[in-house]
């Protein structure tokens, strides 16, 4: 009997199902079985290489004010299987071409008595499963409110999980590594160690959730195409190791307002016995709609510096005055307010950054704190709320626009909304028009603090719709968006590639707010980055922040070589060199890597990977025979062992290796690095020492004629 069929039979035997459908992935490694239990409850199960990875798990919804929810009493009225295979070229990305290849099972269900129809669409790829619910147009179910989604992911054991708490307002946590059974106990500590702002459940975690089973299977749970729906966290039944979807409620406690025809986002399960496959998976993107921006030629990867780290470290300030709130100033004309003397976004300082960007070949300069409103964070004053168009008196929009243009540099706009979302929406058209008039083509937006209107949080359906509105409207104006504190991405950048970045996780800023775990960057690519790029803002060369601001006692938990590697390991078409120009001037040889490294790629090869421990990746620059390699390391000193067999046969490359010195350590000796140049061919191999919290970066350029003379080979 064929494996799939055998499985379906076991499934039927175990659950007394009447009808079971099974689907295999194109490479036959995955088998999905869908069935209805005796009472008409929809259930699915996923197998990988002949072993269960998701045990029989229920599907359905509890509806608000409804006697008969969408949980059971279903019959199968139709089922269709199909195959899809296409390749597409992303506007920017880790690879030139992405293959979207899956087998699909679409099951149409009808509920007894209510006659309501619900379709469940499963797509089985070679890297895992995506499925979603669809509600066709029908008179039996036109408008409805979701009280609870009841999608289960039943795990096969007490896996190791790399998790952050299921907060409705922030993803900016360090990861905790623990067994599933330990989450309940560790949750409280994680919450108090971090900046939790809203309610949480004792076993609730966020996605993308990375896990590893005791027999070495890597499993990732997330979602794709989060559109017009609330963000999904997961609640764990830690007796049975069953996760259940936990949607973010709105201010009234409702979880989704639906109008058929409509669909939910995709629920995703990426699985492999090789951790590198999880990093290379493009399944989340593939489950999103193709690019909707017709002529995306204006969307360009950006390497930038910014008037930013100096504010984050407390060396300078966003606001022009010291007064808070601005109403207390007693003046209506801002130019009459007394400046604090620490304002960062002054004409002179911005020019300094523009000069630095021009000198070193950066595309842009981010300027934060340029506009009025910072003194009055929560919009209590009528006079000085953020309107996104009024500069402080010492920031001259036209003068800086012309100065930057003359130097071939763009200024990146900054819109801190202070969570006042309706205020932002009211000003959005004017703000985007102002940008176009003044030569800005990219905006960093931000949503710090509790969301206004009060009671809403950062991840409910209403605000998910707001983030999407801001992206789509920006596309109308040909503006690129980098949204901080917005909901974590779910592959939407495939459809709207003007979304070139998000924060939505713990970024470098936390190194200035007390520090992050030294292995944090070995986890982000397994979790947060699966849905889209992160504006992580790497490139810190001075780890002792009291040197920038004596009051800041934070230490950046990373070696300098690790900071260089991040430009390759943390894939993003938007990369910042976040430190101050004067710190780069101290280490010009190491800074060269940041200047050289590409930000758009034709190919990516994951060479080594283990969550929490290490990641090594090599990438080929877009349209060039140049490779860059990055390796980041966790807490244990280790030797990375790689082969250069991904290089073209017969070509010799000059490899510049930027590595931790022997005695480097993220805490005690972070700036100890060594740089060496060697010749490399596709037969070459490298053994490279990585310090705790360290790593290495390599640039590989084709060796020109004569360049090989006298050079050492690896």
> In terms of CB distance, is 313 or 616 closer to ligand NOJ?
313
Asked if 416 touches ligand NOJ (CB under 6 A), the answer is yes
CB of 104: closest distance to ligand NOJ in angstroms? 39
Secondary structure (DSSP) of 615-680: EEEEEEETTSSEEEEEEEE-SS-EEEEEE-TTSPTT--EEEEEEEE-TT-BTTTBTT-EEEEEEEE
What part of residues 466-495 is at the interface with ligand NOJ (CB under 6 A)?
484
> In terms of CB distance, is 31 or 470 closer to Ca ion?
470
Q: Which does 416 bind (CB under 5 to 8 A by kind): Ca ion, ligand NOJ, none?
A: ligand NOJ
DSSP 335: G
Q: Which does 375 bind (CB under 5 to 8 A by kind): Ca ion, ligand NOJ, none?
A: none
Indicate if the alpha-carbon torsion angle 513, 518, 523, 525 is positive or negative: positive
Q: Which does 19 bind (CB under 5 to 8 A by kind): Ca ion, ligand NOJ, none?
A: none
> In terms of CB distance, is 313 or 699 closer to ligand NOJ?
313
CB of 21: closest distance to ligand NOJ in angstroms? 46
The SS3 assignment for 564 reads helix
CA-CA distance, 115 to 491, in Å (whole number)? 34
Q: Which does 149 bind (CB under 5 to 8 A by kind): ligand NOJ, Ca ion, none?
A: none
Residue of 244, 503, 579, 660 that binds ligand NOJ (CB under 6 A): 503
Beta bridge partners of 701: 626, 654
Q: Choose the catalytic residue: 368, 416, 509, 542.
A: 509
Task: State both tokens at 330.
Answer: 């007693």
Asked if 458 touches ligand NOJ (CB under 6 A), the answer is no
Strand 574-576 to 302-307 pairing: parallel
CA-CA distance, 714 to 683, in Å (whole number)? 10
Task: State both tokens at 284.
Answer: 């989340």
CB of 666: closest distance to ligand NOJ in angstroms? 22
> In terms of CB distance, is 466 or 506 closer to Ca ion?
506
CB of 431: closest distance to Ca ion in angstroms? 20
Cα within 13 Å of Cα(438), Cβ side: 22
CA-CA distance, 312 to 174, in Å (whole number)? 18
Q: Which does 47 bind (CB under 5 to 8 A by kind): ligand NOJ, Ca ion, none?
A: none
Whether the Cβ atoms of residue 5 and residue 47 lie closer than 8 Å to each other: no
CB of 198: closest distance to ligand NOJ in angstroms? 17
Stretch that binds Ca ion, among 205-213, 412-420, 481-489, 619-627 (CB under 5 A): 481-489
Whether the Cβ atoms of residue 256 and residue 145 lie closer than 8 Å to each other: yes
Asked if 117 touches ligand NOJ (CB under 6 A), the answer is no
Stretch that binds Ca ion, among 480-488, 538-546, 584-592, 674-682 (CB under 5 A): 480-488
CB of 366: closest distance to ligand NOJ in angstroms? 9
CB of 448: closest distance to ligand NOJ in angstroms? 5
Q: Which does 301 bind (CB under 5 to 8 A by kind): ligand NOJ, Ca ion, none?
A: none
What part of residues 484-523 is at the interface with Ca ion (CB under 5 A)?
484, 503
Asked if 368 touches ligand NOJ (CB under 6 A), the answer is yes
DSSP 6: H
CB of 536: closest distance to ligand NOJ in angstroms? 11
The SS3 assignment for 48 reads strand
Which residue sits closest to ligand NOJ, CB atoms considered? 416
Asked if 509 touches ligand NOJ (CB under 6 A), the answer is yes
Q: Which does 447 bind (CB under 5 to 8 A by kind): ligand NOJ, Ca ion, none?
A: none
Stretch that binds Ca ion, among 183-191, 395-403, 477-485, 638-646 (CB under 5 A): 477-485
> In terms of CB distance, is 392 or 628 closer to ligand NOJ?
392
Asked if 310 touches ligand NOJ (CB under 6 A), the answer is no
> In terms of CB distance, is 47 or 368 closer to ligand NOJ?
368
Number of residues that bind Ca ion (CB under 5 A): 2
CA-CA distance, 610 to 525, in Å (whole number)? 11
Cα within 13 Å of Cα(327), Cβ side: 9
Nearest to 281 by CA among 11, 630, 25, 517: 25
CB of 424: closest distance to ligand NOJ in angstroms? 13
Residue of 448, 582, 683, 713 that binds ligand NOJ (CB under 6 A): 448
- Those residues whose C-beta lies under 8 Å from the C-beta of residue 366, and which sit 6 or more positions away, are 304, 305, 306, 307, 308, 411, 412, 414, 444, 576
CA-CA distance, 624 to 627, in Å (whole number)? 8
CA-CA distance, 529 to 538, in Å (whole number)? 15
Task: State both tokens at 200.
Answer: 């949480």
Asked if 375 touches ligand NOJ (CB under 6 A), the answer is no
Asked if 579 touches ligand NOJ (CB under 6 A), the answer is no
Task: State both tokens at 543.
Answer: 């780890």
CB of 440: closest distance to ligand NOJ in angstroms? 16
Strand 266-272 to 218-224 pairing: antiparallel
The string over 377-390, giving b where at least 16 C-beta atoms fall within 10 Å of a residue's C-beta and e elsewhere, is: bebeeeebbbbbbb
CB of 679: closest distance to ligand NOJ in angstroms? 41
Nearest to 569 by CA among 493, 626, 633, 621: 633
Number of residues that bind ligand NOJ (CB under 6 A): 8
Residues 40-59 vs ligand NOJ: string with x where CB under 6 A? --------------------
> In terms of CB distance, is 54 or 540 closer to ligand NOJ?
540
Whether the Cβ atoms of residue 51 and residue 45 lie closer than 8 Å to each other: no
223 is catalytic: no
DSSP 371: B
Whether the Cβ atoms of residue 25 and residue 3 lie closer than 8 Å to each other: no
Task: State both tokens at 288.
Answer: 């999103």
The SS3 assignment for 72 reads coil
Nearest to 175 by CA among 563, 511, 610, 611: 611
> In terms of CB distance, is 484 or 520 closer to Ca ion?
484
- Phi, psi torsion values for 546, nearest 5 degrees: -65, -15
Asked if 19 touches ligand NOJ (CB under 6 A), the answer is no
> In terms of CB distance, is 238 or 509 closer to ligand NOJ?
509
Asked if 127 touches ligand NOJ (CB under 6 A), the answer is no
> In terms of CB distance, is 148 or 509 closer to Ca ion?
509
Asked if 18 touches ligand NOJ (CB under 6 A), the answer is no
> In terms of CB distance, is 317 or 616 closer to ligand NOJ?
317
Asked if 446 touches ligand NOJ (CB under 6 A), the answer is yes
DSSP 327: G
Nearest to 155 by CA among 31, 267, 239, 233: 239
Residues found near ligand NOJ in the complex (CB under 6 A):
308, 368, 416, 446, 448, 484, 503, 509
Residues found near Ca ion in the complex (CB under 5 A):
484, 503
Active site residues per annotation: 509
């Amino acid at each position: 009997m064929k494996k799939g069929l055998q499985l379906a039979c076991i499934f039927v035997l175990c659950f007394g199902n009447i009808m079971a459908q099974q689907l295999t992935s194109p490479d036959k490694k995955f088998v999905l079985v869908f069935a209805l239990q005796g009472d008409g409850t929809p259930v699915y199960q996923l197998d990988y290489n002949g072993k269960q990875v998701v045990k029989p798990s229920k599907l359905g919804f509890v509806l608000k004010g409804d006697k008969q929810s969408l949980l059971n009493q279903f019959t199968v009225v139709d089922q269709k299987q199909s195959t899809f295979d296409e390749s597409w070229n992303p506007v920017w990305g880790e690879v030139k071409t992405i293959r979207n290849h899956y087998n699909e099972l679409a099951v149409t269900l009808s509920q007894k008595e209510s006659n309501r129809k619900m379709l469940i669409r499963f797509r089985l790829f070679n890297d895992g499963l995506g499925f979603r619910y669809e509600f066709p147009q029908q008179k039996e179910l036109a408008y409805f409110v979701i009280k609870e989604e009841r999608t289960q992911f039943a795990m096969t054991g007490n896996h190791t999980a790399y998790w952050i708490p299921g907060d409705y307002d922030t993803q900016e946590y360090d990861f905790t590594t623990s067994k599933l059974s330990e989450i309940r106990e560790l949750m409280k500590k994680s919450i108090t160690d971090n900046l939790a702002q809203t309610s949480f459940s004792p076993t609730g975690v966020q996605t993308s959730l990375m896990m590893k089973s005791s027999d070495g299977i890597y499993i990732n749970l997330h979602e794709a195409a989060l559109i017009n729906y609330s963000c999904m966290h997961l609640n764990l039944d830690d007796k049975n190791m069953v996760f259940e979807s936990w949607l973010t409620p709105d201010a009234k406690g409702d979880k989704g307002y639906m109008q058929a025809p409509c669909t939910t986002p995709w629920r995703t399960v990426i699985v492999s016995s090789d951790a590198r496959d999880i990093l290379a998976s493009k399944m989340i993107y593939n489950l999103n709609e193709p690019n909707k921006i017709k002529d995306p030629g204006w969307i360009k990867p950006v390497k930038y510096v910014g008037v930013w780290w100096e504010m984050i470290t407390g060396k300078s300030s966003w606001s022009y005055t010291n007064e808070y709130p601005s109403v207390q100033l007693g003046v209506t004309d801002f130019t009459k307010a007394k400046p604090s003397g620490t304002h960062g976004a002054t004409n002179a300082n911005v020019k300094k950054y523009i000069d630095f960007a021009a000198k070193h070949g950066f595309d842009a300069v981010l300027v934060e704190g340029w506009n009025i409103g910072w003194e009055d964070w929560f919009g209590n004053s009528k006079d000085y709320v953020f309107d996104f168009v009024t500069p402080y008196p010492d920031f001259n929009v036209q003068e800086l626009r012309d100065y930057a243009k003359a130097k071939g540099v763009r200024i990146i706009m900054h819109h801190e909304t202070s969570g006042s979302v309706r205020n932002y929406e009211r000003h959005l058209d004017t703000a985007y028009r102002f940008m176009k008039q003044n030569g800005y083509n990219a905006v960093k937006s931000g949503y710090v603090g509790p969301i206004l209107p009060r009671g809403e949080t950062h991840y409910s359906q209403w605000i998910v719709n707001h983030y999407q509105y801001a992206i789509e409207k920006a596309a109308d104006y040909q503006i690129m968006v980098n949204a901080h504190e917005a909901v974590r991405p779910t592959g939407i950048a495939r459809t709207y590639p003007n979304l070139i970045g998000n924060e939505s996780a713990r970024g470098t800023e936390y190194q200035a707010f007390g520090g992050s775990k030294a292995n944090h960057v070995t986890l982000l690519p397994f979790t947060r980055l699966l849905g889209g790029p992160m504006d992580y803002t790497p490139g810190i060369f001075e780890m002792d922040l009291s040197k920038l601001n004596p009051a800041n006692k934070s230490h950046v938990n990373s070696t300098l070589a690790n900071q260089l590697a991040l430009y390759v390991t943390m894939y993003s078409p938007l990369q910042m060199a976040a430190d101050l120009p004067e710190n780069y001037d101290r280490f010009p040889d190491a800074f060269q890597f940041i200047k050289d490294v590409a930000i758009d790629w034709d190919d990516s090869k994951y060479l080594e990977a283990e969550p929490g421990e290490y990641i090594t990746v090599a990438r080929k620059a877009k349209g060039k025979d140049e490779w860059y390699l990055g390796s980041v390391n966790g807490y244990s000193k280790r030797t990375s062992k790689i082969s250069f067999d991904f290089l073209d046969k017969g070509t010799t490359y000059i490899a510049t290796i930027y590595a931790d010195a022997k005695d480097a350590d993220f805490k005690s000796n972070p700036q100890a690095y060594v740089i060496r140049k060697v010749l490399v061919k596709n037969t070459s191999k490298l053994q490279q020492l990585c310090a705790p919290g360290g790593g290495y970066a390599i640039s590989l350029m084709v060796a020109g004629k004569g360049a090989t003379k006298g050079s050492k080979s690896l």
